[in-house]
Each structure stands twice: as C-alpha cells, then as structure tokens.
Amino acid sequence: MTFLFDTFVYYPIYNLLIFIYNIIPDFGVAIIILTVLIKFLLIPLSRKQIESQKRMQELQPKIKEIQSKHKNDKEKQSRAMMELYKESGSNPLSGCLPMVAQLVFLIAIYRVLFNISQAGLVVNQVDLYSFVANPGQINKMFIGIVDLASAVEFAKITLASLPHILLVVLAAGAQFVQTKMMMAKQPIKTPTQGEPDFSEIMTKQMLFLGPLLTLFIGVKFPAGLALYWLVSTMFMVLQQRYMEKKEISGSIVVK
C-alpha cells in the first residue's frame, strides 16, 4: 500500500511541485498552482459529491417519513431505506470517495512539505524524475512574509508569526463558508417534527468541527499545508457556487 501511495501520489506531487517551482521560484505560488491543478483533476469526483449531497437533501422528507413509520422496527426501516435509495438511484456512501481522495492528497502534500523542511529545504535528487531539474535550496518564504516550512510556536509568537496565523484563520473561515453552503439547502426541522436524527446532529456539528480541525492542522503543521487547505477550500466554494448558478439557469430555461 505504501509503495502504491508513493508511486502514484507522493512522487508525482513532489515532482510536479518542484517542476512548478523551477518555473516560478516562489514556493507559495508553486503550492497554489499545484493545488489548483489537483482540484481540477478531482472535479469529476467533487461534482459527484455535491450532486450526491443534493440528492440526499431532496430525499430527506421521504427518509423522515420512513423513520417515523418504522421507528419501532429497525429491520423494516433499513429495508425501506434501501428500497428508497434503489428507486431514486442514490447511494449515501457515494459522497465519501471525494472526501477520501482529498484526504489522500492532503497527506501527500503534508509529507512533501515535511520532508522538504526536514531536509533543510534542499530537494532530494533521488526523489526527482530524470526530466525534473534540481533547484537546490528552496526559498521557503511566500511573497516574502509567510514562512511555509514552519509551524506556529505559541511560546515564541512574534510579529513574523502573524502572517501564518492569518493564513490559518482564513483557511478556517473558508472551511466554515463551504460547510455553511453545503447545509444551506437542507430542510429546516421544526419542533413539531420531533428530535433531529443522528445525521442532522453530525451535520450541524461539522459546521464548527471542520473549521476547528482546520485551525488545529494549520497551527500544528507547516504553513504550506494551511495555504494548500485555503486554496483547496476556496476552489470548492467557487465550484459549488458555479454549479448552483448553472442549476438555476437551467431551471429558468426549462420554464
């Protein structure tokens, strides 16, 4: 498994990042370009995730009806749910694959940044493909103010740490906006409908847990990872907004 990860994910990302850095010698800009390229590569998966979430939201009234009708018989409830998913052509697990893919790339980016940092910002020639030139020492500063190779040390916070902290806060804010957009079309549950189910509770918790996790990752790991997360999340926000506008335009044309 490690061999497959290194061969098909880690080394391609490592080499692509260095290749971009050779063209544009700003490590932050190279990370941004790399992130955008990865997100474009994942567009088919992320589109399926958004569409799957939308279908599940549309099914919520029927799901509530089934849960209420068979609340005392879990076996009948499960069969009815499976039949509903089959009839609608929906799969509640189909939205998980894009999340797993994003996690895989996040781990790969972290390893790339960590290994480069541990090597004293010197590129390891052994990890490079034959057609990728070795730039030698990498300039770790993004636009001259953000140290992309260092984490935040709260015991030693200085003015130089503020750009990194701001980057982390922006990444967490973008995560909040994205989660909020995902929740926007979900039906609002009124008190007369009973207590919210487990999925609703988890969705509401993720509105805050996601940004908190982003803050934790951002301050504990190199700033380059926070930059990747910020650009990646902003890309997802723009993609989701584009799909919503396209859907609205399509519905107007049909009418």
17 CB-contact burial (10 Å; exposed 0-12 / middle 13-18 / buried 19+)? buried
Mean pLDDT of 30-59: 80
The pLDDT value recorded for residue 11 is: 94
Q: Is the pLDDT of residue 254 over 70?
A: no
Contact 248, 185 (CB under 8 A): no
CA angle, 160 as apex, 155 and 162 as ends, to 5°? 80
Find the helix packing angle between 223-254 and 162-183, rounded to 10°.
30
CA distance 232 to 171: 9
**Start-end of H helices in 11-95:** 11-23, 27-41, 43-69, 74-88
Check residue 190 and give its pLDDT. Answer: 46
**Token pair belonging to 165:** 């902290």
Within 10 A of 248 (CB to CB), how many other CB atoms are there? 10
| 28 close to 226: Cβ distance less than 8 angstroms | no
Bigger pLDDT: 98 or 239? 239
**What is the chain's mean pLDDT, rounded?**
79
Q: For Cα atoms 185, 177, 106, give the angle at the middle one, nearest 5 degrees.
A: 110
- Over range 202-227, report the average pLDDT: 79
- The better pLDDT of the pair 138, 222 is held by 138
pTM of the model: 0.77
State yes or no: pLDDT of 32 exceeds 60: yes
**Structural domain spans, the chain:** 2-254
Structure tokens at 89: 């052509």
Residue 142 has pLDDT above 80, yes or no: yes
Secondary structure (DSSP) of 104-173? HHHHHHHHHHHHHHHTTSB--GGGS-TTSPP--B---EETTTEETT----GGG--GGGHHHHHHHHHHHH
Question: Which is nearest to 215 in space by CA: 166, 162, 179?
Answer: 166
- Averaged pLDDT, 211-221: 82
Asked whether the predicted pLDDT for residue 189 surpasses 60, the reply is: no
Residue 107 has pLDDT above 90, yes or no: no
49-53, 150-154, 193-197, range with greatest mean pLDDT: 150-154
- pLDDT at site 23: 95
pLDDT given for residue 192 in this prediction: 43
Reply yes or no on whether the pLDDT at 252 is more than 60. no
Reported as half-sphere exposure (CB side, CA atoms, 13 A), residue 219 has a value of 16
Label residue 152 by pLDDT band (50, 70, 90): confident
pLDDT at 191: 45
